[in-house]
């Protein structure tokens, strides 16, 4: 994008005020635009977002399973959670 006006509009739409931008020269606006708007996405960030999406889907699945078992409405305290984890672990070892 080479038009300075378009860059200013895009920076304003990203939260900058006109008063902030009017004190910058064209080169400074171009640098700010490049760093904030055209900045390439971080591949690690994309992986983290995908991982969070996957985790969210898994948590939703667990929530649905808990509702089917009638556990969703109950308040499960820390002791119950520890017991369930130990019990689940024992079952998994027995199956293995």
Are 11 and 32 in contact by the 8 Å Cβ rule? The answer is yes
Q: What is the pLDDT of residues 2-43, one digit of tens each?
A: 688 999 998 888 888 888 888 889 999 998 888 887 775 667
Q: What is the pLDDT of residues 55-92, one digit of tens each?
A: 778 877 887 888 788 776 556 666 677 777 777 666 66
Rounded CA separation 77/96 (Å)? 29
For residue 37, what pLDDT is reported?
A: 79
Please state the pTM of the whole predicted model.
Answer: 0.41
Residues above pLDDT 90, as percent of the chain:
9
For residue 75, what pLDDT is reported?
A: 61
For residue 53, what pLDDT is reported?
A: 79
Rounded CA separation 25/33 (Å)? 12
For residue 73, what pLDDT is reported?
A: 57
């Amino acid at each position: 994008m080479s038009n300075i006006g378009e860059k200013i509009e895009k920076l304003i739409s990203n939260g900058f005020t006109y008063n902030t931008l009017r004190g910058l020269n064209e080169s400074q606006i171009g640098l700010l635009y490049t760093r904030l708007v055209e900045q390439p996405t971080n591949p690690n960030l994309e992986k983290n977002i995908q991982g969070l999406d996957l985790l969210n889907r898994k948590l939703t699945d667990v929530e649905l399973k808990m509702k089917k078992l009638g556990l969703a409405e109950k308040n499960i305290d820390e002791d119950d959670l520890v017991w369930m984890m130990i019990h689940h672990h024992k079952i998994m070892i027995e199956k293995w």
